[in-house]
Amino acid sequence: MIRASLLAASAAAIALATPATAQDFAITNATVATGDGSAPIANATVVVRGGRIAAVGAEVRPDPSLPTIDGTGLWVTPGLIAAVTTLGLVDVNGVESSNDTSASRARFNAALDVAPAINPASQHIKVGRANGITRAVISGGASNSIFAGQGAVIDLGDDPSPVTKAKAFQMVTLSESGSRIAGGSRKASHAELRNALREALDFAAGRWSGEDNLLTRADAEALGPVVAGTQQLFVEAHRASDIRTVIALGKEFPRLRLVLVGATEGWLVAQELAASGIPVMAESLQDLPERFEQIAATQSNIGRMRAAGVNVSINADSIRFTDHLKQHAGNLVALGRMSGAAGLSWGEALATISSRPAEAVGMGGKIGVLKPGAAGDVVIWDGDPLEVSSGAVQVFIDGVEQPLDNHRTRLRDRYRDLDESDLPKAFDW
């Protein structure tokens, strides 16, 4: 109830009535965490102008004419980034017709593009937004090939245009399950991957006949930007030896802009990963040998990689519910207090779900950080955002205040009591 009154007070204070328009505003007296890995700043101010961050810091004095939210007792962070995830691709996982995550009977693989499949009205997007997630890196799943297709960066705004960056990357898997798709062995995955890259090079050079090639024309064309180095190649791998093959792939095809996804055993290869410069989106709290490629799983995976100098973020796809993202980051802080474990500082933990994924996807400084010029993606929290008890009270995307209601909040409101003395619950809306 403390929270509800805060929400009411702050919403009234700024009264952003037209949700489609970015407004200039300031948040003052808040605890501000910029997301760049630094510690939170007490009694700080954030100014948003023209849909972008204009100023951040304890010394900032906003123009008194700006609408101002009093952030006393509140925390402010950049909007969180969930990478990689399927937000907007699925309504109910178990309802196949609503689930666009994989395409097992498609004729294409690398050519698949998630962008037109994103539904900005998805409840999962609304729930993510209500939990402070403002951007997401979206990929489908590999199903008929080790290539899952092209992923996108999206925003979670309440508007019809979710895509921030279409065809941002190609996703390929060198996991155990990918090996089964490729033909039953890691040998098959590697042959399929190399053949595809070479056919794409041939296609780009005009040497592709189409007759003695394994890729379809569309798939060969789609891999063109990958082999040219203009589109990132996300590679899923978990076992230490598989991760080493990803590092080697970067040497074999120097133009590839690799991002490693999964990396359950990344901590065993931390020095080599750091030297390679490959960003990693890693399993965070996975600590069980679910599969043989995850024998050395530990919650210290991210902390140990970070200590070695790897650019590492939390792989949202390793979290069953994307809105648990910040809870996972908080747990990485907790690990820092356990002897023998490797955790993160509070600021670094926040960075794993804000600036680090932005950097990994080539959007460092543009999203996931409170820094002048970055997108005006700002979340006001009623407490320490990494703590399980805290929640988002106001969310802005590109400077536009977002609605936080959704199917779940409407159910909550309807069933606040069970009184049906006058009419059935169906009339309570």
Partner 1 sequence: MSRVTRALAGLGSALALAACATTSGADAGAETASASKPVSPEFNKNPYPSTYRPYPGEPTALVGATVFDGTGAQLDNATVLLRDGKVEAVGAGLDTSGYAVIDARGKFVTPGVIDIHSHLGDYPTPSVPAHSDGNEATSPSTPDVWSEHSVWPQDPGFTRALANGGVTSLQTLPGSANLVGGRTVTLKNVPSRTVQGMKFPGAPYGMKMACGENPKRVYGSRNRMPSTRMGNFAVNRQTWLDAQAYAKDDKKKRDLAKETLQGVLEGEILVHNHCYRADEMALVMDMAKEMGYRVTAFHHAVESYKIGDLLRENDVCSAIWADWYGFKMESYDGIPENAALLQQAGACVVIHSDDENGIQRLNQEAAKAQAAGARMGIAIPDGQVVRWFTLNAAKAMGIDSMTGSLEPGKMGDVVLWNGDPLSVYSRPEKVWVDGALLFDADDPKRRPVSDFELGQQGEGDVK
The DSSP secondary-structure symbol of 315 reads B
Q: Count residues contacting partner 1 (CB under 8 A)?
A: 80
Provide the H-helix boundaries in 277-323. Answer: 301-307
Q: Using the rule CB under 8 A, is 386 a contact of partner 1? A: yes
Interacting residues of 288 by C-beta distance below 8 A, sequence separation 6+: 294, 297
Please give the residues from 32 up to 91 whose contact with partner 1 meets the rule CB under 8 A.
Answer: 84, 86, 91
Stretch that binds partner 1, among 158-166, 192-200, 204-212, 406-414 (CB under 8 A): 406-414
The answer to the question of residue 183 lying near partner 1 (CB under 8 A) is no
Q: Which stretch binds partner 1 (CB under 8 A): 215-223, 224-232, 245-253, 415-423?
A: 415-423
Name the residue among 253, 102, 262 with its Cα closest to residue 173.
262
Q: What are phi and psi of 38, to 5 degrees?
A: -80, 165
| Residue 9 interacts with partner 1 (CB under 8 A): yes or no | no
| Per-residue x/- track, 308-327, partner 1 (CB under 8 A) | ---------xx-xx-x---x
Q: Is residue 390 a contact residue for partner 1 (CB under 8 A)? A: yes
Q: CA 344, 349, 351, 356 torsion: positive or negative?
A: positive
As a whole number of angstroms, the distance between CA 389 and CA 150 comes to: 36
Q: How far is the CB of 225 from partner 1 (least distance, A)?
A: 19
Q: Is 188 in the site for partner 1 (CB under 8 A)?
A: no
**Under 8 Å between Cβ of 153 and 165:** yes
Tokens of 276: 């390679």
Site for partner 1 in 264-303 (CB under 8 A): 265, 268, 285-292, 295-300
Phi/psi class of residue 74: alpha, beta or left (left: φ > 0; alpha: ψ in -120 to 50)? beta
Applying CB under 8 A, which part among 63-71, 225-233, 337-345, 394-402 lies near partner 1? Answer: 337-345
Measured distance CA(406)–CA(393) in Å, rounded: 14
Applying CB under 8 A, does 339 fall inside the site for partner 1?
yes
Q: How far apart are CA 140 and CA 27, in angstroms?
A: 37
Site for partner 1, residues 89 to 118, rule: CB under 8 A = 91-95, 99, 101-102
Interacting residue with partner 1 among 141, 162, 225, 368 (CB under 8 A): 141
Distance CA 315, CA 94 (A): 22
Question: Is residue 385 a contact point for partner 1 (CB under 8 A)?
Answer: no
416, 421, 424, 429: residue in contact with partner 1 (rule CB under 8 A): 416
Q: Which residues are CB-contacts of 318 (< 8 A; sequence separation ≥ 6)?
A: 262, 282, 283, 284, 285, 286
Q: Which of 2, 17, 205, 423: binder of partner 1 (CB under 8 A)?
A: 2
Interface of this chain with partner 1, residues 229 to 258, rule: CB under 8 A: 234, 236, 240
Q: In this complex, which beta carbon is closest to partner 1, that of residue 333 or of residue 361?
A: 333
Nearer to partner 1, 418 or 423 (CB): 418
Pick the piece of the chain touching partner 1 (CB under 8 A) from 27-35, 67-75, 364-372, 412-420.
412-420
Peptide bond into 84 cis (omega under 30): yes
Nearest to partner 1 of 118, 297 (CB atom): 297
User: What gap in Å lies between CA 404 and CA 33, rounded to an integer?
Assistant: 22
Strands (E), 33-79: 41-49, 52-57, 68-70, 75-78
Residue 4 makes contact with partner 1 by CB under 8 A: yes
Specify the amino acid at residue 280: V
Rounded to a whole number of angstroms, the minimum distance from the CB of residue 45 to partner 1 is 26
Tell the smallest beta-carbon distance from residue 240 to partner 1 (Å): 7
